Amino acid sequence: MPNPTSRDVHVNTPLTRISIAYRNAAYIADQVFPVVRVDKQTDVYFVYDKQSWFLNRSKPRAPGTRANRADYGVTTASYLCVNDALAKEIPDEVRKNADMPLRPDITATEFVTDGLLLAMEKRVADIITACANWSNASNPAIQWSDDTSNPWGDIDTAVNAVVSTIGRSPNVAVMSWDVWRKLRQHPDLIDRVKYTRSGGRLELADLAAWFEFDKVLVGKALIDSAVEGRSESISYVWGDDFWVGYVPPTAALEVPATGYVLTWGDRVVERFREDQEKQDVVATEWFTDEIVCASDAAAIMADVV
């Protein structure tokens, strides 16, 4: 592929604004792992020793004596924001023949931005649904697609696993659409609302109220795992698991957040010319790293349906 010739590669500010503003409603990764900007592409962050904060070391102080001394341990962990990028060509013929409302540059920007967001969604979902990443992981005795199962008890067990470990209630629950469509038909849960709501329909707000979640997120994003050009193989990005965790409203020090998406710099869009191909190229990129900060601040019920 020849290098750009007639125009140097440059950041296209208007297209960058479109990319930054782009938000596919199906993506929930940044609501599970909040996005945090970092100053360096690679560095370390501090991890406080959990036990230091739970030991009861306060003692009565006699007159003229010093207070009992205590300290907390701090270790470090590293991160590396990797450049994730995607580009789309716009041949001159396509631009010249495009009718309104077709907007080749804008559509290309949205296309490559969606590609980056889908990739991040998949990375975060893979972290969330990997049982090895969490101190509290289990399987339901009976899958929730079976009417004799006990989803209420299973969710309560997961919630209690977090509370009894970090002293905070998990405030976010995550599942795929595949899990939710089975859960909202479960007779055990429908029985709790059928006499108080017209139609007896279970809603996400019911789970939030029952288990004191601030958010109940349903991942509807799909991904095709087939080789490009082959028959499609579509599945839900968020799998068949139910996850609960503590997610602070904003990034904060000394708070046991489950994890963060670290970003170095902004997501930007570049446009450059390929003269021999008689086309422009719209490319977007950003530097990210998705990290687990507190493995005991979450619990997962795996393969619930």
Cβ neighbors of 234 (< 8 A, separation 6 or more) are: 222, 223, 224
Tell me: pLDDT of 284 over 80: yes
Percent of residues, the chain, with pLDDT higher than 70? 93
Percent of residues, the chain, with pLDDT higher than 90? 66
Tell me: pLDDT of 138 over 60: yes
Residue bearing tokens 């990997």:
130
Q: How many helices (H) and strands (E) does the chain have?
A: 9, 14
Give residue-wise pLDDT tens across range 21-58. Answer: 766 678 999 999 999 999 999 999 888 777 777 778 88
Q: What one-character DSSP code corresponds to residue 205?
A: H
Question: Which residue did the predictor score with more confidence, 294 or 55?
Answer: 294
Q: Is the dihedral of CA 14, 115, 182, 215 positive or negative?
A: negative
CATH of domain 10-38+84-301: 3.90.1690.10
Residue 287: which pLDDT band, with cuts at 50, 70 and 90?
A: very high
Task: For the chain, give the mean pLDDT.
Answer: 89
Other beta carbons within 10 Å of 279: 15
Task: Bin 265: left if φ > 0, else alpha if -120 < ψ < 50, else beta.
Answer: left
Tell me: pLDDT of 2 over 50: no
Residue in 74, 32, 49, 29 with CA at minimum distance from that of residue 246 = 32
Residue in 158, 204, 122 with CA at minimum distance from that of residue 301 = 158
Question: Which pairing describes strands 222-224 and 279-292: parallel, antiparallel, or unpaired?
Answer: unpaired
pTM assigned to the model? 0.87
Tell me: pLDDT of 117 over 50: yes
| pLDDT of res. 1 | 45
Provide mean pLDDT across the span 7-21: 69
Token pair listed for 181:
């469509």
Alpha carbon distance 90, 108 (integer Å): 8
Provide mean pLDDT across the span 252-258: 74
Residue bearing tokens 């590396």:
80
User: Comparing 13-17, 28-32, 159-163, 221-225, which segment has the lowest mean pLDDT?
Assistant: 13-17
Report the C-alpha dihedral over residues 143, 144, 147, 148, rounded to 10 degrees.
50
Alpha carbon distance 135, 239 (integer Å): 19
Tell me: pLDDT of 4 over 60: no
Q: Are 293 and 260 in contact (CB under 8 A)?
A: yes
Domain ranges of the chain: 10-38+84-301
Provide mean pLDDT across the span 59-69: 88
Provide mean pLDDT across the span 153-159: 97
Q: Are 179 and 240 in contact (CB under 8 A)?
A: yes
Q: Are 118 and 98 in contact (CB under 8 A)?
A: no
